[in-house]
């Protein structure tokens, strides 16, 4: 799996980024695996502030407020679409996370910022893989998969 991380939001110190990056890689790869995704995949992850995620949420979803995570899937297949190029890695899409929102939620839930950031990345990855939470049944399945991944990589609820 190829993970491209863009640290637009600058409040996470450099010395913590490498450890968090490893958890991002593990969590996203495991989320793809539990969702039975492609063996080789590419995901772009961008960490932003509330102002930027608010703009994206408003512009792309029509929701005029900040949110914790947005996912933009690039895997939507169109029927009868020819495959023009054969890439080794499937580009799944983009995940955008608000570090400000994650920090608030980590405090609210009583766990680390690291766990919340990775949880949001896993949540976003499952969206890229087609999961949603529109119905209670879908929400329960998605939550189960999220907790399976988080437990597998050792980031338990505290």
pLDDT tens for the 158 residues of the chain, in order: 999 999 999 999 999 999 999 999 999 999 999 999 998 999 999 999 999 999 999 999 999 999 999 999 986 554 444 454 555 568 999 999 999 999 999 999 999 999 999 999 999 999 999 999 999 999 999 999 999 999 999 998 76
> What superfamily would CATH give domain 2-78+86-152?
Metalloproteases ("zincins"), catalytic domain (3.40.390.30)
Structure confidence at residue 86 (pLDDT): 52
Using alpha carbons only, give the angle 150, 152, 155 rounded to the nearest 5 degrees: 40
Residue 41, classed as helix, strand or coil, is strand
Structure confidence at residue 158 (pLDDT): 65
Structure confidence at residue 39 (pLDDT): 83
Q: How far are the Cα atoms of 20, 23, 127, 158 from residue 13, in angstroms, in the given order? A: 11, 16, 28, 23
Structure confidence at residue 106 (pLDDT): 96
Q: How much is the pTM?
A: 0.91
Domain ranges of the chain: 2-78+86-152
């Amino acid at each position: 799996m190829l993970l491209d991380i863009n640290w637009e939001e600058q409040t996470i110190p450099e010395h913590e980024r490498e450890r968090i990056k490893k958890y991002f890689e593990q969590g996203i790869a495991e989320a793809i695996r539990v969702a039975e995704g492609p063996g080789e995949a590419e995901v772009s992850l961008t960490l932003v502030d509330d102002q930027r995620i608010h703009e994206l949420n408003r512009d792309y979803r029509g929701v005029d407020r900040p949110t914790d995570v947005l996912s933009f899937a690039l895997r939507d297949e169109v029927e009868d679409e020819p495959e023009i190029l054969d890439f080794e890695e499937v580009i799944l899409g983009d995940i955008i996370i608000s570090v400000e929102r994650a920090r608030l939620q980590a405090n609210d839930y009583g766990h680390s910022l690291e766990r919340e950031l990775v949880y949001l990345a896993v949540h976003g990855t499952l969206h890229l893989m087609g999961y949603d939470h529109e119905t209670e049944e879908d929400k329960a399945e998605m939550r189960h998969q999220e907790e399976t991944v988080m437990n597998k990589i050792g980031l338990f609820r505290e």
